[in-house]
Amino acid sequence: MRPTLARRVVAEFLGTLLLLATVVGSGIMAERLAGGNVAIALLANTIATGAVLIALILTFGPISGAHMNPAVTLADALAGGIAWRETPLYILAQLTGAVAGVATAHAMFGHAICTASPHIRSGPAQLFSEFVATFGLLAVIWGCHRARPTAVPFAVGAYITAAYWFTASTSFANPAVTLARAATDTFSGIRPVDTPGFIAAQIIGALAATLLFGWLQPVPDSAQE
């Protein structure tokens, strides 16, 4: 029996909150301790983010699907998963959860609740990175979702662990994450003016992967393992 919409929306809110608290909080901690070595700081930020994704998707997946990402919700609706009428509420929960997660991280580290980021992330290489990052994320989700759904949490956690390093943008790959990270003047921030390009590239990447996997996996077999 599927949980009620209210429960699923709360799960999306809470999952996205904890995701952003981790992305931003571990970035603050990593920068504070790394003594200027950015590779060590990004490594800690990466390990925390990849690990929390495994935990959160295992936790909230059975309730809401654990999208925690408007690009995933849109792709799922396009592929006939979540009903279109539920999509706005999911996305609203993700956006407010993401902002609440940044505020939570700031409160835990004694920062002001909300601060605009001056971190420049622009240019075609960054946008292409976000396209690749989100294309890959949706490829992983669609590839595992049908053939081996219980592996999705590990596949997504592993993918983002890699994507933090193989893209020039450190793989935001998530419009809610992108908007919320504009509100933190710390390691993981992004200048507000750079967010629309990121989000556009992410949505195009998500759609491209969804279309491609619609062809790669044509038979809607029931999931099995």
Q: Taking CB under 8 A as the criterion, which residues in 49-108 touch a copy of itself?
A: 49-52, 54-56, 58-63, 104-105, 107-108
Q: Residue 1: CA atoms inside 13 Å, Cβ hemisphere, count?
A: 3
CA distance 86 to 94: 13
Residues 25-44 that bind a copy of itself (CB under 8 A): 25-26, 29-30, 33-44
Interface with a copy of itself: number of residues (CB under 8 A): 87
Q: In terms of CB distance, is 84 or 217 closer to a copy of itself? A: 217
Query: From the CB of 31, what's the least distance to a copy of itself, in Å?
Result: 9
- Residue 187 contacts a copy of itself per CB under 8 A: no
Q: Where does this chain touch a copy of itself (CB under 8 A) — which range of 75-83, 134-142, 173-181, 184-192?
A: 134-142
Q: What residues contact 80, with CB distance under 8 A and at least 6 apart?
A: none
Q: What angle do CA 27, 90, 214 make, to 5 degrees?
A: 95
The residue from 93, 144, 199, 201 that contacts a copy of itself (CB under 8 A) is 144
- Of 51 and 77, which CB lies nearer to a copy of itself in the complex structure? 51
Show contacts with a copy of itself in window 161-180 (CB under 8 A). 161-169
Choices 2-10, 72-80, 177-185, 200-208 (CB under 8 A): range interacting with a copy of itself: 2-10
Count of helices and strands (H, E) across the chain:
8, 0
| Least distance CB 92 / a copy of itself (angstroms) | 18
DSSP state letters, 26-52: HHHHHHHHSTT-HHHHHHHHHHHHHHH
CA distance linking residue 190 with residue 209, whole number of Å: 25
The reply to whether 196 sits near a copy of itself by the rule CB under 8 A is no
With CB under 8 A as the contact rule, the residue among 158, 207, 208, 211 that binds a copy of itself is 158
- Alpha carbons 207 and 225: distance in angstroms, whole number: 27
Neighbours of 76 (CB within 10 A): 23
Please, what is the minimum distance in Å from the beta carbon of residue 74 to a copy of itself?
20
- Amino acid 192 reads P
